[in-house]
Amino acid sequence: MIQALIFDMDGTLFQTDKILELSLDDTFEHLRSLHQWDTVTPIDTYRKIMGVPLPQVWETLLPNHSNEVREQTNAYFLERLIGNIKSGKGALYPNVKEVLRHLKENHCSIYIASNGLTEYLKAIVSYYNLDKWVTETFSIQQIESLNKSDLVKSIIKKYNITKAAVVGDRLSDIKAAKDNGFVSIGCNFDFAREDELAQADMVIDDLMELKEILPKLR
């Protein structure tokens, strides 16, 4: 019997693209004002690496900048993301609350395991009241290795989970499931890639499909 579902956040529960470009533009405009950037915002590059931990993001987007500048940029970007969330410019994917409510009513524990930073995740959970259904939200910041498989392992250990599924849109989610002996459910949403989803045990196009899948897993 499946005891729990462990969800990714960005590109799975939260439509990150609604605030991503806006927040990146804010951030790179800030860098331009400091004369640390002189060209367009690299939104396409970011989309290709969406889902990796933020330190890796800034190594990719700012390859010729110092670690100090990357850290300052990361802090500013996080500030803008949170500001845009709190001002209602983001959105959950369709049916998120209905599905989470259904899972909770059917005695399935719900967790979030995300490569997002702690304060960013708190802003989303708080704004959309997700803690009504989610037992706990885990950030990659809590794991020294910055590896999602290790993050999921920490959830297993804390809550003594033996049967679960990991739901997410990227390869790190699929690997996190497989590395821990769980079912992997790939989400064919905005940032998903066909070659990565091909490695999942099953693929969904809408979170509502989880209502039909759960009884089969049990």
Query: What tens digit of pLDDT does each residue of 185-218 get?
Result: 999 998 899 999 999 999 999 999 999 998 887 6
Give the chain's domain count: 2
Does position 53 have pLDDT exceeding 90, yes or no?
no
Angle between helices 118-127 and 67-86 (to 10 degrees): 0
Residues 103 and 194 reside in one and the same domain: yes
Contact between 39 and 28 (Cβ < 8 Å): no
CATH number at residue 129: 3.40.50.1000
Residues 78 and 29 reside in one and the same domain: yes
Listed in sequence order, the residues at least 6 apart from 163 whose beta carbon sits closer than 8 Å to its beta carbon are 1, 2, 3, 4, 182
User: Domain residues for 76?
Assistant: 17-86
Tens digits of residue pLDDT in 126-175: 999 999 999 999 999 999 998 999 999 999 999 999 999 999 999 999 99
Residues 127 and 213 reside in one and the same domain: yes
Alpha-carbon separation of residue 82 from 118, 126, 163, 171, 204 (angstroms)? 11, 11, 34, 26, 29
Residues in the chain: 218
Q: If residue 164 lies in a helix (H) or strand (E), which one and from where to where?
A: strand 164-168
Residues 167 and 182 reside in one and the same domain: yes
Q: Which two tokens stand for residue 12?
A: 């799975």
Which of 65, 86, 107 represents a domain boundary (last residue)?
Answer: 86
Predicted local confidence at residue 155, as pLDDT: 97
DSSP state, residue 130: G
**Residue 8 and residue 27: Cα distance in Å, rounded?**
24
Residues 56 and 123 reside in one and the same domain: no
Residues 78 and 128 reside in one and the same domain: no
Give one word for 35, left, alpha or beta, with left for phi > 0 and alpha for psi -120 to 50: left
**Residue 97 and residue 90: Cα distance in Å, rounded?**
15
Residues 51 and 33 reside in one and the same domain: yes
Residues 111 and 155 reside in one and the same domain: yes
Which of 86, 112, 134 represents a domain boundary (last residue)?
Answer: 86
Which of 86, 118, 134 represents a domain boundary (last residue)?
Answer: 86
Residues 82 and 100 reside in one and the same domain: no
Residues 22 and 11 reside in one and the same domain: no
Residues 76 and 110 reside in one and the same domain: no
Predicted local confidence at residue 21, as pLDDT: 87
Residues 44 and 106 reside in one and the same domain: no
